[in-house]
């Protein structure tokens, strides 16, 4: 590059903003790209919201400040459930949320979050990165001018907080429970009444008896919400969300206008954030469960086997109905379920068999 | 920055090598840092070796070519088990391996790989990233002038290939088995004879009857080795390696001389590669298990409960002996085991309970 060309490049305003590495230090450069990230979580919401902060920080650090991302909590810039449209239109560059929030756009989106009685985090990441799952997700979001990236997973959630015991399938009848999405549809078919409400209303509704039960996430988030004060029966396992995938989505033109190195940084930062989130959930749920049981005397109970089998049967029905009426859902589910069939066989002799063996004691 | 300063900076030769982003494309720049990565795996060894390639490529892409890393298979540049020393001395910049290979340097290193009847991949990543595990690992490797980064996990392995059935603890007596590390020590205390040999010799030794059994990794790698041709009994679960962590280690001065943005790129690329490896193992083990069972008629068998309990008892003894004789091992194990105690309680009601529930059927 000749001196004249160098000066010419600098004249463009683009290169001058590049992070210059001199003498082993990255200079704080003027960012080339100033992005806004809208999220579906309250600002700094534990793990989900803080993971969005972590992601923004990682991208900024790896790019030496060439990308700066300002993270907005739900409703700060746009309402939580308008994040998808805002990024799709290019009003903001980037969003952080959960695919099942967009089922109004496409029923298939739900399958990229979680499927009741579907795959665990480790299994589903195998499908996403090495089983064609992410490519299908990209195909879907491309219709909406978005590039999706898997960004974290909750791991197996809890079944929820119940004011009364669940001893049989009959106890689900008439049960008024805050449970959104596919899980809610399953409860409805079991004779219950699924209710949707924002996180902030759950505690009061459960305490007043306006609802009989609620699911939320897992011990760490549930402890923070104080749900143990409103109901003492904490049921497991979270059959409806056995490993919910979270997401980042970037406006397609915005993403494509990035230099290749910054595209790589954004993509790999999301995968790094995936590892970070499941690890954070793993660590914090451990400790919170201990607090719930030993400090707050919560009763941790297993859903009875016949209840689980009934819910499984109804879950299959709910998924099949979606697959029957939507061609793209059929395509995605064919890929998902064929992967899951093999995944279960391997998990049975690896993760599952090992945890059973460890539990036998010495 | 004034024009004169810009020119001055360019005169340093360092800045000229920076990747310049112009018009949405990263220019292929002369690298600022040319590194060698030595590995403990044969070149392109499935998953373990290819993960090292993936890591090098990710770092190169994210840095816009400012770091170039040439990956060497075991023995190409230095023998497999001299990788640690070579990076420690600064002969090469970076290594990719498994911490238990360095037990000759410190017995504690083994604990960062895997502990028999210890934590699974998901649990151990919680400990590493959010439970203080990685900080302890850094403290250990700092003695050797190295910066360690967790880079991948195998997930639960298989117990191994056996020429004869294992029906009781007595069947372990006199058993000549290729099983290195802590698992080998446990087998020895059970009356067996652990044997160490390089991967390349395993198949012939098993086929000739020179050894009665071998562990290796899991279905995908074991299939590639053709071990099913030498023994038909494929036992689970891999009690000795329930989630082995792999590693990258970088020479400390080399790492510290990087600009902050490139330091971030190297660290986050390793975490990204961690997610990649467990996902690849998850996907490929699924499919390989199917091939082993349905194409090659392998008998997949569970180790009997009393055998598992005996091995668990002996594993606790082996770990306790290390802890008793080595102060740093004691410190690390105190952190590990207190995390594991809570992790098991959470896994019991989440991952484990869910996989059990799913298996009840609909």
Is residue A334 less than 8 Å (CB to CB) from chain B?
A: no
d(CA B186, CA B102) in angstroms, rounded, equals 19
Q: B219 to chain A, minimum CA–CA distance in Å? A: 9
Residue B64 and residue A123: Cβ atoms within 8 Å? no
> Residue A7: its chain B contacts at CB < 8 A?
3, 6
Q: Give the model's pLDDT for residue A267.
A: 98
Nearest Cα residue to A200 out of A224, A181, A176, A218: A224
pLDDT in tens, A135-145: 999 999 999 99
Query: Which of A129, A264, A355 is closest, CB to CB, to B279?
Result: A129
If you average pLDDT over residues B220-248, what whole number do you get?
97
* 3-state SS string for A123-170: HHHHHHHHCCHHHHHHHHHHCCCEEEEEEEECCCCCCEEECCCCCCHH
pLDDT in tens, B105-156: 999 999 999 999 999 999 999 999 999 999 999 999 999 999 999 999 999 9
Residue B359 and residue A348: Cβ atoms within 8 Å? yes
Q: A236 to chain B, minimum CA–CA distance in Å? A: 6
d(CA B322, CA B325) in angstroms, rounded, equals 5
Nearest CA in chain B to A302: B349
Q: B79 to chain A, minimum CA–CA distance in Å? A: 31
> Which stretch, A3-7, A30-34, B21-25, has highest mean pLDDT?
A30-34
Q: Is B216 annotated as a binding residue?
A: yes
- Residues belonging to chain A: 362
Q: Categorize the per-residue pLDDT at A312 as very low, low, confident or very high, splitting at 50, 70 and 90.
A: very high
Helix (H, G, I), strand (E, B) or coil at A320: helix
Cβ-proximal residues to A17 (8 Å cutoff; 6+ apart), any chain: A29, A30, A31, A32, A66
Residues 210-269 of A with CB under 8 A from B: 218-219, 236-239, 242, 256-262, 264-265, 268-269
- The dihedral region occupied by B106, where left means phi > 0, alpha psi between -120 and 50, and beta the remainder, is beta
* Torsion angles phi and psi, residue B263, rounded to 5: -60, -45
Mean pLDDT of chain B: 92
Nearest CA in chain A to B355: A352
Residues A169 and A308: beta-carbon distance below 8 Å? no
Residue A350 and residue B285: Cβ atoms within 8 Å? yes
Is residue A160 less than 8 Å (CB to CB) from chain B?
A: no
Query: Which of B276, B287, B315 is closest, CB to CB, to A342?
Result: B287
Confidence check: pLDDT of B36 > 70? yes
Query: Which of B1, B20, B290 is closest, CB to CB, to A9?
Result: B20
Q: A154 to chain B, minimum CA–CA distance in Å? A: 11
Q: Categorize the per-residue pLDDT at B29 as very low, low, confident or very high, splitting at 50, 70 and 90.
A: low
* 3-state SS string for B314-355: HHHHHHHHHHHHCHHHHHHHHHHHHHHHHHHHHHHHCHHHHH
d(CA B37, CA B211) in angstroms, rounded, equals 34
Interface test with B, best of A121, A342, A354 (most B CBs within 10 A): A354
Is residue B327 less than 8 Å (CB to CB) from chain A?
A: no
Nearest CA in chain A to B4: A7
Q: Give the model's pLDDT for residue B198.
A: 74
End-to-end CA separation in angstroms for chain A:
69
Provide the percentage of residues in chain B whose pLDDT is more than 90: 89
Is residue A327 less than 8 Å (CB to CB) from chain B?
A: no
Q: Categorize the per-residue pLDDT at A200 as very low, low, confident or very high, splitting at 50, 70 and 90.
A: confident
Residue B81 to residues B74, B98, B199, B292, B350: CA-CA distances in angstroms?
Answer: 8, 10, 14, 31, 39
Q: Categorize the per-residue pLDDT at A252 as very low, low, confident or very high, splitting at 50, 70 and 90.
A: very high
Query: Which of B62, B65, B339 is closest, CB to CB, to A265?
Result: B62
d(CA B23, CA A353) in angstroms, rounded, equals 54
pLDDT in tens, B7-27: 333 322 233 334 444 333 444
Q: Categorize the per-residue pLDDT at B193 as very low, low, confident or very high, splitting at 50, 70 and 90.
A: very high
Residue A282 and residue B339: Cβ atoms within 8 Å? no
Q: B183 to chain A, minimum CA–CA distance in Å? A: 15
Q: Categorize the per-residue pLDDT at A30 as very low, low, confident or very high, splitting at 50, 70 and 90.
A: confident
Binding residues of A for Na(+): 216
Query: Which of A26, A127, A271 is closest, CB to CB, to B276?
Result: A271
pLDDT in tens, A53-91: 999 999 999 999 999 999 999 999 999 999 999 999 999
Q: Give the model's pLDDT for residue B352.
A: 98
Q: ∠ CA A345-A350-A353 to the nearest 5 degrees? A: 95
Q: A328 to chain B, minimum CA–CA distance in Å? A: 23
Helix (H, G, I), strand (E, B) or coil at B98: coil
Interface test with B, best of A350, A360, A361, A362 (most B CBs within 10 A): A350
Q: Give the model's pLDDT for residue A17.
A: 38
- Residues belonging to chain B: 362
Domains annotated for chain A, with CATH where assigned, are 29-154+243-282 (3.40.190.170), 160-242+299-359 (3.40.190.10)
Q: Give the model's pLDDT for residue A13.
A: 28
Q: A202 to chain B, minimum CA–CA distance in Å? A: 22
Residue B272 and residue A268: Cβ atoms within 8 Å? yes
If you average pLDDT over residues A197-222, what whole number do you get?
94
> Residue A126: its chain B contacts at CB < 8 A?
279-283, 286
Widest CA span in chain B: 82
ipTM for this prediction: 0.92
Q: Give the model's pLDDT for residue A52.
A: 98
Nearest Cα residue to A242 out of A103, A109, A121, A110: A121
Residue B156 and residue A287: Cβ atoms within 8 Å? no
Q: Categorize the per-residue pLDDT at A101 as very low, low, confident or very high, splitting at 50, 70 and 90.
A: very high
> Residue A361: its chain B contacts at CB < 8 A?
309, 312
pLDDT in tens, A262-272: 999 999 999 99
Is residue B360 less than 8 Å (CB to CB) from chain A?
A: yes
Residue B147 to residues A162, B232, B264, B268, B270: CA-CA distances in angstroms?
Answer: 48, 42, 13, 13, 12
Confidence check: pLDDT of B189 > 60? yes
Confidence check: pLDDT of A148 > 70? yes
pLDDT in tens, B253-305: 999 999 999 999 999 999 999 999 999 999 999 999 999 999 999 999 999 99
Confidence check: pLDDT of A9 > 70? no
Q: Give the model's pLDDT for residue A25.
A: 43
Q: Categorize the per-residue pLDDT at A29 as very low, low, confident or very high, splitting at 50, 70 and 90.
A: low
Size of interface A-B (CB pairs under 8 A): 339
Half-sphere exposure at residue A165, Cβ-oriented, CA atoms within 13 angstroms? 6
Residues B249 and B87: beta-carbon distance below 8 Å? yes
Q: Give DSSP secondary structure letters for A26-38.
A: E--PPPSEEEEEE
Residues 53-72 of B with CB under 8 A from A: 58, 61-66
Mean pLDDT of chain A: 92
Q: B281 to chain A, minimum CA–CA distance in Å? A: 8
């Amino acid at each position: 590059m000749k001196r004249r060309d160098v000066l010419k490049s600098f004249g463009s305003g683009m290169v001058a903003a590049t992070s210059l590495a001199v003498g082993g230090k990255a200079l704080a450069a003027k960012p080339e790209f100033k992005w806004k990230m809208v999220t579906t979580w309250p600002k700094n919401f534990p793990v989900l919201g803080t993971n969005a902060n972590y992601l923004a920080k990682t991208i900024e650090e790896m790019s030496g400040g060439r990308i700066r991302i300002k993270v907005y909590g739900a409703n700060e810039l746009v309402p939580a459930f308008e994040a998808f449209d805002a990024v799709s239109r290019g009003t903001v560059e980037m969003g952080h949320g959960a695919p099942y929030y967009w089922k109004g756009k496409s029923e298939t989106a739900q399958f990229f979050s979680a499927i009741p009685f579907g795959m665990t985090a480790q299994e589903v990441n195998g499908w996403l990165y090495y089983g064609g799952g992410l490519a299908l997700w990209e195909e879907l979001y491309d219709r909406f001018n978005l590039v999706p990236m898997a960004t974290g997973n909750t791991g197996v959630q809890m079944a929820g907080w119940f004011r009364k015991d669940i001893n049989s399938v009959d106890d689900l009848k008439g049960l008024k429970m805050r449970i959104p999405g596919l899980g809610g549809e399953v409860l409805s078919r079991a004779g219950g009444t699924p209710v949707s409400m924002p996180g902030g209303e759950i505690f009061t509704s459960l305490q007043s008896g306006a609802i009989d039960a609620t699911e939320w996430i897992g011990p760490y988030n549930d402890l923070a919400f104080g749900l143990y004060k409103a109901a003492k029966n904490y049921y497991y396992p979270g059959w409806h969300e056995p490993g919910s995938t979270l997401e980042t989505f970037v406006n397609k033109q915005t993403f494509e206008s990035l230099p290749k190195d910054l595209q790589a940084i954004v993509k790999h930062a999301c995968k790094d954030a995936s590892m970070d989130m499941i690890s954070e959930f793993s660590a914090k749920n451990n400790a919170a469960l201990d607090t719930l049981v030993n400090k707050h005397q919560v009763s941790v109970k297993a859903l009875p086997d016949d209840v689980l089998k009934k819910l499984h049967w109804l879950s299959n029905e709910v998924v099949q109905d979606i697959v029957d009426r939507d061609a793209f859902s059929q395509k995605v589910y064919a890929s998902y379920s064929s992967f899951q069939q093999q995944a279960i066989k391997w998990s049975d002799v690896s993760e599952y068999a090992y945890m059973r063996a460890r539990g036998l004691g010495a």
